[in-house]
Amino acid sequence: MNITNNTILITGGGSGIGLEIAKALHVSNKIIIAGRNKDKLDAAAAGLDNVFTIQADITNENDVNQLIEEIKVNFGGLNILINNAGHAYAYTLSDTSDTYRKATAEFETNYFAPIRLTEKLLPVLKQQENAAVVNVSSIVAFAPGSHVPTYSDSKAALHSYTQLLRHELAKDTAIKVFELMPPLVNTDFSAEIGGEHGIPASEVADSFVQGLLDDTYEIRVGNTDLMYSNFFAGSEGAFSMMNK
């Protein structure tokens, strides 16, 4: 994958993994970071060359339509979409955990919003010779965490969607589909679940950039790769068998 001279959209780009990816790629690309909080986005972009901000709630269809229109008009298109925005509740399943409400909110951000944004941007991406969709999932896509039960569900669903999207787009487009799968990462997002014990977000960004360069479609960072190698190494073969 060519990682220079691209126009890149990063949802949830105002902090954490999204911001570190912007920092890793901004020198040689145009980066658009999108999120709900304009002040947070502007603060994140300050001092970074070629980083632009668009306020948008990706769970709101009107915001999504305006985001896409602004990308077309002001940036002339898009090469790489990075679906990074996420939402999580830390809790355990019980009859008082309000699971339905929490799961609905998590799936809205972590699963349905990336599907809608990707689908609406595919016609734009298809116009580019060098194009990619990147979905940021998690180690819990392979094995659910009891402390983030329905967040785990949403990331498992995103993992499944990513595999099938890659399979379908490879048939008649040049769009590459990547999945970034970090373990616990030390960010504000993960503070509630012991994120201080996680790896730095910059390490995830570095692994991501290398994965793009190497065309590694499942970029399994740190302990995610260890877990995959020890327990799930046969899943790629199973996918091929199911989708002959």
Using one digit for the tens of pLDDT, what is the confidence trace for 212-239?
Answer: 999 999 999 998 998 888 777 667 665 6
Biggest distance spanned by C-alpha atoms of the chain: 52
- Mean pLDDT, rounded, for 179-189: 87
**Which own/partner pairs from 91-95 qualify as long-range (CB within 8 Å, at least 24 positions apart)?**
91/147, 91/149, 92/146, 92/147, 92/149, 93/146, 93/149
Measured over the CA atoms of residue 121, residue 122, residue 123 and residue 128, the dihedral's sign is positive
Q: What are phi and psi of 204, to 5 degrees?
A: -65, -45
Q: What percent of the chain has a predicted confidence (pLDDT) above 70?
A: 93
Catalytic annotation present for 151: yes
pLDDT of 242 higher than 60: no
Per annotation, catalytic residue among 91, 111, 151, 217: 151
Question: What is the structure's pLDDT at 115?
Answer: 98
Within 8 A by CB and 6+ apart from 66, the residues are: 56
39 vs 75: CA distance, rounded Å? 21
Q: Which amino acid is at 59?
A: T
pLDDT in tens, 44-77: 999 999 999 999 999 999 999 999 999 999 999 9
CA distance 167 to 177: 9
* Global pTM value: 0.94
The CATH number of 6-242 is: 3.40.50.720
Distances (CA, A) of 212 to 200, 207, 215: 19, 9, 5
Main-chain phi, psi angles of 47, to 5 degrees: 85, 0
Task: Let me know: does 83 contact 114? Beta carbons within 8 Å.
Answer: yes
149: left (phi over 0), alpha (psi -120 to 50) or beta: alpha
Q: pLDDT value at position 188?
A: 73
Q: Is the pLDDT of residue 39 over 80?
A: yes
For the chain, the domains span 6-242
Alpha-carbon distance of 117 to 227, in angstroms, equals: 30
At 179 the three-state DSSP class reads strand
